[in-house]
Amino acid sequence: MLKILTNLIIAVLLAFWLGAIAIFSIQNITAVSLKFLVWESIKLPIGILLSFCVGGGLIIGSFFPLLFKQSKRPRKPSLRSPVDDRGDFDFDD
């Protein structure tokens, strides 16, 4: 159930952002060129350029969990003894 809800929330957020980009690109049809250091791109409408940037960001961002994946080696036991707080509660009926 939680996985279905998570997928639904992600789908709604993605649809919202794609809709916002579509509305933004329709309202701003001005052609611009992207300049980075000495390179310059061809002139593209802002909406198309923004769509490419969002798509590239989603693709690159999907690889980040793979880079920062936790290792599966067992943890070292801690030197402290665990605190037993079960004596504070009365579980008997």
Please tell me the predicted confidence (pLDDT) of residue 18: 82
In a domain, residue 62? The reply is: yes
Q: How many domains does the chain have?
A: 1
Coil/strand/helix, residue 61: helix
In a domain, residue 54? The reply is: yes
In a domain, residue 49? The reply is: yes
Which positions ≥6 away from 42 have C-beta within 8 Å? 33
5 within 8 A of 42, measured Cβ to Cβ? no
Which positions ≥6 away from 50 have C-beta within 8 Å? 21, 24, 25
Indicate the residue type of 71. S
- The per-residue pLDDT string of the chain (93 residues; one tens digit each, 9 = 90 and over) reads 778 888 889 899 989 988 887 887 788 788 888 888 888 888 888 878 877 888 888 889 888 888 877 666 666 666 665 555 555 666 665
Show the tokens assigned to 43. 């002139």
In a domain, residue 11? The reply is: no
Q: What kind and span of H or E run contains 9?
A: helix 2-27
For 63, the domain range is 40-69
Please tell me the predicted confidence (pLDDT) of residue 64: 82
Predicted TM-score (pTM) of the model is 0.48
